[in-house]
Amino acid sequence: MRPPANEGHPVLDPVLAAPFPQAAFTVLRNTQLRKNVAHATDVIQGKRNRLVAEKADWQELRSAASAVRTHVLENLGHYLEQFEERCTAAGGTVHWAKDAAEARAIILDILREEQASEVIKIKTMTSAEIQLNPAIEAAGIKAFETDLAEIILQLGDDEPSHIVVPALHVNRTQVREIFARKMNLPELSDDPKELTAAARTFLREKFLRVPTAISGANFLIAETGSVVIVESEGNGRMCLTLPRTMITLAGIEKVIPRFHDLEIMLQVLARSATGERMNPYSSLWTGVTPGDGPQRFHVVLLDNGRSDILARRGERQTLKCIRCGACQNTCPVYRQTGGHAYGSPYAGPIGAILTPQLMHLEHAQTLPYASSLCGACYEVCPVKINIPEVLIDLRAQVTDKERDEERRFFDPMYLGMRIANFIFASAGRFRLAQRMGRLGLRLFTRNDGWIHSLPSLGARWTMTRDLRGLPDETFREWWAARDRKGE
Amino acid sequence: MKMAPISRQAILDRIRKATGGGAPDVAGSYAGLHRDYVRAGKLGAEERIALMIERLREYDAEVVETAPDSLAEATQGQLAASGRRRFVAPAGLPAEWLAEGFEWQIDRGLSTAEIEQAEGVVTAAFCGIADSGTIVLHHSAAEGRRIISLLPDWHLCVLRASQVVETLPEYFARCSEAPVLATYISGPSATADIEMTRIKGVHGPRFLHVIVVRDDVTAR
């Protein structure tokens, strides 16, 4: 069990995290963080939009990417078994983990077998999802993150707030402060170049020394049993080339059918994620290659709620996600709150649909409401996940579930809904309610015809917006009167 | 790990139940997927190579062109200009590329420490993709093990014009078989993790040099 979080330390465990509106409220007062997030998302979006615009076949690429991902999910069992067979034939070992606890146990077993005292890691959100680092540390093994952003977070005792650029909420001054303190470099300046060089030196020795590495995966290729990792810095290449043993943790949805499908995926991923025609480094490897790279290779296939999502027809599309983060950069909600308010390593629109489902709707039920349903996320999604559709679906499920809870019987919203249901069920009751409502609201309607403030529950509406007063006559009344006049 | 086989079956059962067993003809369903995106490029050979060079330069890679029979001089020139002396080379690199006057370590199973000592590396390539300025290594004998094009800070890559394609799908069309290992390099190692400021050279080679050999592009 993880110790209680420090004051101000972001909680990315959906079981423990505060509901979104509460967490967001705290963040909204942090102007520095909002500035950092706005700057970073503006820059990525600008680059992404430019590079997408130059691609005449962008929509065809999106459609093809979506079709391939949909096909994989429809035949997931087939492709996973094929991946397992080919990866095993190439010298890899494939493990299956039904949940986070099992995945942690499998990885810890491998680390013990390797007698590892240290491990180097390539950025993986899946590892954050199963809270791997605390488990590794609890077993007395030191985990070193090697992605620059992850290092900033690990040394700064912080948590990721974006899928692709996890430290986008931290600015150079803050990075300088963390590095100067933790790397013992008091003379360090806040020049990103110098900060990057400090990280290079700090990590170089670890790459050369630590014989065990853990990674995530961008794609698993069923046809060949290969794994693909897409990155920028080269820390990934270091981790998957130098160590003796490599452990790859991958969600079961990460598989694609054939090597040639990468011609779609690599094109849409790089443009969507970082606004590049191609990211600086992509690596593909297949099991174990004698004399080249790790000679022991494990893949841990993680379910952890994914097969449940697969079973729900409307929500299945959530699993098409290739983790590009484009929906986060474009989301008007994420751009205000940053990632931590979502209480999960998966923030933004994709997090709003993925996290509650991974939690079987037992936790994070406020996340489907963390959206204005503007549809910007759907528009940029390279695999065409209709996020607003899934959000609405999940809202319905959350409501259906809550309504039947006994303790919610006197919840004002559900009480109101039951009353509304009673009124709307009869024309007479509806007419009566209209008349009463008009009378009641007249008390609050000013001379300009607007209601500026309501008492009690109504105040939650008028706190941020005005409400038009009800007209003196309803349409039905007007219609009936018109008939009588014989017009 | 003892419980893993049980989970394997349980997970596969859940997946099969969720998908209703999947398509009866998976291969047929896969073959029927729409792929209406652009596969073939539309540039002529000269424009294609010019685009490759332009994109490489956008990534701050240093590019020189040479005729096939002056490759040795071009290599010599690049090595000399680097101000470096100790280079590592893959075992399958053509002997005439190993310019004289430098210290060469041929990788026949060099140790990590030995490779770490090298100041640079010279390799061949499998393919160049002009559209994204990408150099593809499949780690054949002339391209070398992954480690040698990773640890040294300076990478000189020799790319023949006939190896340059325009689009990513054209590269895939050239792969008659899927590679066992592949590295796709689009510019030197970089990060934008601090305030989206692009910084060149984090962990991979900080300097990428490319010699484009103007061979007959009609020959493959």
Residue spans per domain, chain A: 25-307, 320-408, 412-484
Query: Which of A85-94, A237-246, A474-483 has the least mean pLDDT?
Result: A474-483
> Which H or E run includes B182?
strand B182-185
In this structure, are residues A47 and A330 in contact, taking their beta carbons and an 8 Å threshold?
A: no
**Structure tokens belonging to residue A127:** 């590892």
* CB proximity B141 to A under 8 Å: no
In chain B, the number of structural domains is 2
As a whole number of angstroms, the longest Cα–Cα distance in chain B is 67
Q: Do both B209 and B134 map to the same domain?
A: yes
d(CA A285, CA A92): 11
Q: Do both B6 and B48 map to the same domain?
A: no
Count, residues in chain B: 220
- Cα dihedral: A259, A265, A271, A273 (round 10): -110
Instruction: Report if residue B131 sits inside a domain.
Output: yes
Q: Do both B79 and B154 map to the same domain?
A: yes
Task: Give the model's pLDDT for residue B21.
Answer: 81
Reported as a single tens digit per residue, the pLDDT across A288-316 is 999 999 999 999 999 999 999 999 999 99
Reported as a single tens digit per residue, the pLDDT across A162-221 is 999 999 999 999 999 999 999 999 999 999 999 999 999 999 999 999 999 999 999 999
Task: Give the model's pLDDT for residue A458.
Answer: 84
CATH number of B159's domain: 3.40.50.10420
Q: Do both B14 and B97 map to the same domain?
A: no
**Structure tokens belonging to residue B110:** 């060099």
Task: Check residues A415 and A119 and name the one with the higher pLDDT.
Answer: A119
Please list the residues that pair with A443 across neighbouring strands. Answer: none
Instruction: Report if residue B144 sits inside a domain.
Output: yes
Residue linked to tokens 């493959």: B220
Residue-by-residue pLDDT tens, chain B, 220 positions: 444 567 999 999 999 999 998 778 999 999 999 999 999 999 999 999 999 999 999 988 999 999 999 999 999 999 999 999 999 999 999 998 999 999 999 999 999 999 999 999 999 999 999 999 999 999 999 999 999 999 999 999 999 999 999 999 999 999 999 999 999 999 777 788 888 888 887 888 889 999 999 998 765 4
CA distance to partner chain B, nearest, from residue A470 (Å): 50
Nearest to B150 among A148, A238, A291 (CB): A238
In this structure, are residues A198 and A179 in contact, taking their beta carbons and an 8 Å threshold?
A: yes
Please list the residues that pair with A214 across neighbouring strands. Answer: A121, A247
Percent of chain A's residues with pLDDT above 90: 81
The DSSP secondary-structure symbol of A414 reads H
Nearest to A263 among B12, B172, B180 (CB): B172
Enumerate residues 6+ apart whose C-beta is below 8 A from A215: A121, A122, A124, A229, A236, A239, A240, A246, A247, A248, A249
Q: DSSP for A9-68?
A: -----TTTSPPHHHHHHHHHT-HHHHHHHHHHHHHHHHHHHHHHHT-TTHHHHHHHHHHH
Between vectors from CA A353 to CA A338 and to CA A147, what angle results, nearest 5°? 50
- pLDDT over threshold 80, residue A122: yes
Helix (H, G, I), strand (E, B) or coil at A138: helix
In this structure, are residues A318 and A326 in contact, taking their beta carbons and an 8 Å threshold?
A: no
CA distance to partner chain A, nearest, from residue B80 (Å): 26
Reported as a single tens digit per residue, the pLDDT across A313-325 is 999 999 999 999 9
Spatial CA neighbour of A37 closest among A170, A163, A148: A170
pLDDT category, A486, cuts 50, 70, 90? low
- pLDDT over threshold 80, residue A424: yes
Count, residues in chain A: 487
CB atoms within 10 A of CB A372: 11
Domain that holds residue B1: 1-33
Enumerate residues 6+ apart whose C-beta is below 8 A from A153: A145, A159, A160, A166, A167, A170
Spatial CA neighbour of A299 closest among A357, A221, A210, A209: A221
Task: Give the model's pLDDT for residue A487.
Answer: 54
Enumerate residues 6+ apart whose C-beta is below 8 A from A391: A349, A352, A353, A368, A371, A373
**What fold, for A25-307?**
Rossmann fold (3.40.50)
* Rounded average pLDDT over A342-369: 93
**Phi, psi for residue A397 in degrees, rounded to 5:** -65, -40
In this structure, are residues B145 and B129 in contact, taking their beta carbons and an 8 Å threshold?
A: no
Residue type for position B84: R
CB atoms within 10 A of CB B28: 9
Task: Give the model's pLDDT for residue B5.
Answer: 64
In this structure, are residues A253 and A68 in contact, taking their beta carbons and an 8 Å threshold?
A: no
Q: DSSP for A284-331?
A: EEES-BTTBS-SEEEEEEE-TTHHHHHHSTTTGGGGG-----HHHHH-
* Rounded average pLDDT over A423-447: 91
List alpha helices for A331-453, DSSP H: 334-337, 348-358, 376-380, 387-403, 412-424, 427-442
- pLDDT over threshold 50, residue A326: yes
Instruction: Report if residue B218 sits inside a domain.
Output: no
- pLDDT over threshold 80, residue A5: no
d(CA A303, CA A101): 11
CA distance to partner chain B, nearest, from residue A296 (Å): 16
A440: exposed, middle or buried (Cβ count in 10 Å: 0-12, 13-18, 19+): exposed
- Matching CATH number, A320-408, of 3.40.50.2300, 1.10.1060.10, 3.40.50.300, 3.40.50.970: 1.10.1060.10
Sign of the alpha-carbon dihedral angle for A347, A349, A350, A352: positive
Among B12, B36, B37, the strongest candidate for a mutation testing the A interface, having the largest count of A CBs within 10 A, is B37
* CB proximity B91 to A under 8 Å: no
d(CA A235, CA A241): 10
Instruction: Report if residue B220 sits inside a domain.
Output: no
Helix (H, G, I), strand (E, B) or coil at B211: strand
pLDDT category, A437, cuts 50, 70, 90? confident
Instruction: Report if residue B191 sits inside a domain.
Output: yes
CB burial readout A109-146, b (16+ within 10 A) else e? ebbeebebeebbbbbbbbbbbbbbbebbeeeebebbbb
**Phi, psi for residue A392 in degrees, rounded to 5:** -65, -40
Q: Do both B60 and B22 map to the same domain?
A: no
Task: Give the model's pLDDT for residue B219.
Answer: 54
Q: Do both B129 and B59 map to the same domain?
A: yes
Q: Do both B155 and B64 map to the same domain?
A: yes
Q: Do both B25 and B51 map to the same domain?
A: no
Test A63 with B34 for CB contact under 8 angstroms.
yes
Instruction: Report if residue B38 sits inside a domain.
Output: no
Test A292 with B202 for CB contact under 8 angstroms.
no
Percent of chain A's residues with pLDDT above 70: 98
Task: Give the model's pLDDT for residue A404.
Answer: 84
Test A77 with B19 for CB contact under 8 angstroms.
yes
Sign of the alpha-carbon dihedral angle for A112, A118, A123, A129: positive
d(CA B145, CA A293): 8
Mean pLDDT of chain A: 93
Task: Give the model's pLDDT for residue B1.
Answer: 45
* Rounded average pLDDT over A212-234: 97
Chain B window 163-202: which residues touch A at a Cβ cutoff of 8 Å?
Answer: 168-169, 171-172, 175, 178-197, 199, 201-202
Chain B window 113-132: which residues touch A at a Cβ cutoff of 8 Å?
Answer: 116, 129, 131-132
Residue numbers in A near B146 (CB within 8 A): 237, 241, 283, 292-293
Spatial CA neighbour of A80 closest among B93, B65, B13, B116: B13
Q: Do both B12 and B120 map to the same domain?
A: no
Q: Do both B5 and B76 map to the same domain?
A: no
Give the A:B interface size as CB pairs under 8 Å.
249
> Which H or E run includes B83?
none
**Structure tokens belonging to residue A253:** 């949805």
Q: Do both B21 and B74 map to the same domain?
A: no
In this structure, are residues B158 and B97 in contact, taking their beta carbons and an 8 Å threshold?
A: yes
Helix (H, G, I), strand (E, B) or coil at A354: helix
Instruction: Report if residue B219 sits inside a domain.
Output: no
Instruction: Report if residue B103 sits inside a domain.
Output: yes
**Structure tokens belonging to residue A470:** 């009800």
* Rounded average pLDDT over A424-428: 94
d(CA B91, CA B104): 11
Report yes or no for ipTM above 0.90.
yes
d(CA B99, CA B78): 10
Q: Do both B9 and B109 map to the same domain?
A: no
d(CA A4, CA A16): 10
